[in-house]
Amino acid sequence: MNPYDQHRARKRFGQNFLQDEQIINRIVQSIAPGPDDHLVEIGPGQGAITKKLIPICKRLDAVELDRDLVERLEQMFNQPNFHLHSGDAMKFDFCSLPDASNLRIVGNLPYNISTPLIFHILEKRQCIQSMHFMLQKEVVERLCASPGSKAYGRLSVITQALCKTDSLFDIPPESFHPAPKVMSAFVQLIPHQQTLVSDLNWNAFHKVTTAAFAHKRKTLRNNLKKWIDIDAAAQEIDLTRRAETLNIEEFEILSKYLLTN
């Protein structure tokens, strides 16, 4: 028996190890790594995807929180282009890596922290070329949702303001060990060359979208009355609407009216 198969998945780390060879190959094909690529894998786990990427790419940095897996991964992969970092991806500075100008991020993100981790990674988008993530299908639907749909929310708006989002394919529970209770999906995020929201308005955009979606059943007027100049904003946007009906450009308009006091 392979000693690495004996590692028991830990709930506190949200571990579900990918074991379906067909899905693994499909993931690698979707990433389409090249010989000049600098990849960063979040949560390599037992190395199912790692072992496919190392022979192809120029450099692979991996970030793993579970110290037991760190020790095993170090024994499994003793190649000069593989660099393992023991630590929390939520605290990891991706842009501090050597030659971190065009990183390609991949990973099976723990479902319990996937949204805050995506936001953390997006903060480092200036050094990222692409992102490919395995996530709970519900999260992927939110990432890719259109205005007016049930899944559309703040995660949709923030992510799509920064990236082109594409849901690539579903991954069934039996592809993992232990099998999660939910369907997963594989998503691609490509940062826009020019973000849809100006850097000048970015902090205001964050605050306005947070407030707008705070109570989804309330109108924009009720959710934003303490945050923006209601009378001025109403000249451009119908504030009797609800947040889930607005597109990114309309949220940027609202962010211009954020109260500064």
Residue-wise pLDDT tens digits, 159-171: 999 999 999 999 9
Collapsing DSSP to helix, strand or coil, 242 comes out as coil
Residue 261 lies in a domain: no
Q: Are 185 and 233 found together in one domain?
A: no
Please give the Cα distance from 180 to 174 (Å, whole number): 8
Same-domain check for residues 161 and 245: no
Task: Say if residue 79 is in the same domain as residue 208.
Answer: no
d(CA 8, CA 1): 14
pLDDT value for 4: 39
CATH for 208: 1.10.8.100
Q: Which residues of 221-260 are buried (b: 16+ CB within 10 A; e: fewer)?
A: bebbeebbeeeebeeebebeebbbebebebbbbbbbbbee
Residue 225 structural domain: 199-255
User: Could you tell me if 10 and 114 lie in one domain?
Assistant: yes
Outline where 77-171 has alpha helix (H).
114-122, 137-144, 154-162
Specify which residues 105 forms β-bridges with: 40, 131
Query: pTM of this prediction?
Result: 0.90
Identify whether residues 66 and 148 lie together within a single domain: yes
Residues 100 and 144 in one domain: yes
- Distance, CA of 45 to CA of 65 (rounded, Å): 9
Residues 149 and 46 in one domain: yes
Is residue 157 located within the same domain as residue 217? no
**What tokens does 223 get?**
């959710």
Q: Which tokens in the block code for residue 260?
A: 């500064």
pLDDT of residue 56: 96
Specify the number of domains making up the chain: 2
Q: Under 8 Å CB-to-CB from 167, ≥6 apart: which residues?
A: 140, 141, 143, 144, 185, 186, 187
**179/205 same-domain check:** no
Cβ-contact 251, 227 below 8 angstroms: no
pLDDT of residue 201: 85
- Are 133 and 99 part of one and the same domain? yes
pLDDT at 16: 79
- Residues 126 and 208 placed together within one structural domain of the fold: no
CA distance 61 to 39: 6
Alpha carbon distance 135, 209 (integer Å): 23
For the domain that residue 96 is a member of, what is the CATH number? 3.40.50.150
Q: How deeply is 180 buried, as exposed, middle or buried, from its count of CB atoms within 10 A (0-12, 13-18, 19+)?
A: middle
Return per-residue pLDDT of the chain as tens, 261 residues: 343 355 554 444 446 789 999 999 999 999 999 999 999 999 999 999 999 999 999 999 999 999 889 999 999 999 999 999 999 999 999 999 999 989 999 999 988 899 999 999 999 999 999 999 999 999 999 999 999 999 999 999 999 999 999 999 999 999 998 888 899 999 999 999 887 887 768 899 999 999 999 998 999 999 999 999 999 999 999 999 999 999 999 999 999 999 974
In a domain, 46, yes or no: yes
